[in-house]
Amino acid sequence: MQKKVVLAVVCATAVAGAVTAAIVVKRKMRTGDKWAKAIEIVKDMEEKCATPIGKLKQIADAMVVEMHAGLASEGGSKLKMLISYVDNLPTGDENGLFYALDLGGTNFRVLRVQLGGKDGRLVNQEFAEVPIPPNLMTGTSEVLFDYIAAELAKFVAQEGEELRLPPGKMRELGFTFSFPVIQTSIASGTLVRWTKGFSIDDTVGQDVVMELTKAMERQGVHMHVSALVNDTVGTLAGGRYFHKDVIAAVILGTGTNAAYVESAQAIPKWHGALPESGEMVINMEWGNFRSSHLPLTDYDLALDVESLNAGEQIFEKVISGMYLGEIVRRVLLNMAEEAAFFGDTVPSKLKIPFILRTPDMSAMHHDTSSDLKVVGNKLKDILEIPNTSLKARRVVVELCNIVATRGARLAAAGILGILKKMGKDTVKEGDKNRTVIALDGGLYEHYSEYSKCMEDTLNELLGEEVSKSIEIVHSNDGSGIGAALLAASHSHYR
């Protein structure tokens, strides 16, 4: 009788063990299935973001077509191809004390520049950087410009006696305003629309120089705006000041844009007398470029629909710093929801739009530690996802690489489009001149994997022989100095 009981217990234990083993196997299979699903999501993203050279050349050709259309008539293209009224770029002869105000993102800068002419060149420069409170980015025009003018007043108030101007002479300012503006002269222009997270309805359609001038009067700032400059036009001016062969400028930062020097005769929509120089700087507003050839994913389309400017700035939304980290977050969220990539519970922080910024994405992408410690810390500190496996961290790095590579290669295709339009994509016999492109922006400056990929791709697109004649220079703070230089070249006291 006793033997039977023991036998029964052993059998029961064996059955229980078998059930436990079956559950473990089932769990393992389930984990394996989840991992496979996560990898499938990443692979699908990689395929949809693919940018083979043939596709990039199609995008460059489409860019050229849109450039021609935008130059032909207002509203003729998604590319605004705005006339900047800058028909003379700096020569190096500029002399005197000038200011610049650079508004283009979540911060603005105030600069003071002393120019010493051909011999002294850039004698001295000082600047202050001021963050813009988020509520002012969606408030009213008066509140935003009063805040800016008040900071400008503080900057001027700190000056010593040696910077005091003679009686009857006003300080002169170059205003870098990095949003789509239709300029009506070198020192006036109406806002077309806000981008980069700004949305202030009562500024749209208004002359932004007038808005700033009224605010400066209210704040007691005695300053005259001599030049209204888009940041990319400013970068072009600043680049030309230091490199005489600069013919175009590209900003790759929070947002993105490009400007270049066009022959005045190649602008059908220009109705005034042709400028003496025969040239005109064109502000492309290339962030709004769109083509059926662009490799867009469901994540990009959803981001666009949910953005403040749905249907606009599509090119910007796949190549610029404001959006790259957000695209990565959206893919990670999908992996968490569909494949339990971070465990059975979807991390709540991962659901917050724009919580993963592009500088954080860059830090993860550049992590060379053996255990990808930076990736682990970013996931823990920003998204509150602790204890990630090395395997999972590697997937995160791969995802950053996919999104950054697409953005960088598309930026290169855009630059190729400009070079094609200018006839600089081939080497002409006997032409020894270099073609220099000024680049600026935090994305280009700090995300080295991105900028290296962009430059390598441009060389690949141009081919070895043409690449030798093309040079990219970093025009650091070009937009601010450029605005001051253009204020100098358009001075009332010249």
Active-site residues: which are they? 109, 178, 231
Contact 134, 149 (CB under 8 A): no
- Among 69, 120, 7, 3, which residue's Cα sits nearest to residue 269? 69
Token pair for 323: 């959006």
Element (DSSP H or E) covering residue 97: strand 95-103
Where residue 423 falls (left for φ over 0; alpha for ψ -120 to 50; beta otherwise) is: left
Contact 373, 367 (CB under 8 A): yes
Residue keyed to tokens 């970093």: 474
Task: Provide the angle, in degrees to the nearest 10, between the axes of the packed helices 141-157 and 208-218.
Answer: 60
15 vs 3: CA distance, rounded Å: 18
DSSP string, 154-210: HHHHT--GGGPPPTT--EEEEEEE-S-EEEEETTEEEE----TT---GGGTTSBHHH
Token pair for 389: 């496996």
According to DSSP, the β-strands at 171-177 and 223-229 are: parallel
Alpha-carbon distance values, 290 to 131, 258, 408 (Å): 31, 15, 16
Q: How far is CA 213 from the centre of its chain?
A: 28
108 vs 176: CA distance, rounded Å: 10
336 vs 329: CA distance, rounded Å: 10
Length of the chain measured in residues = 494
Q: Could you tell me how many helices (H) and strands (E) the chain has, helices first?
A: 16, 13
- CB 160: neighbour CB atoms within 10 A? 6
- Among 59, 19, 446, 23, which residue's Cα sits nearest to residue 254? 446
Q: Which residues contact 364 (CB under 8 A, 6 or more apart)?
A: 372, 374, 375, 378, 396, 397, 400
Contact 441, 353 (CB under 8 A): no
Alpha-carbon distance values, 275 to 69, 74, 203, 265, 493 (Å): 22, 20, 31, 10, 21
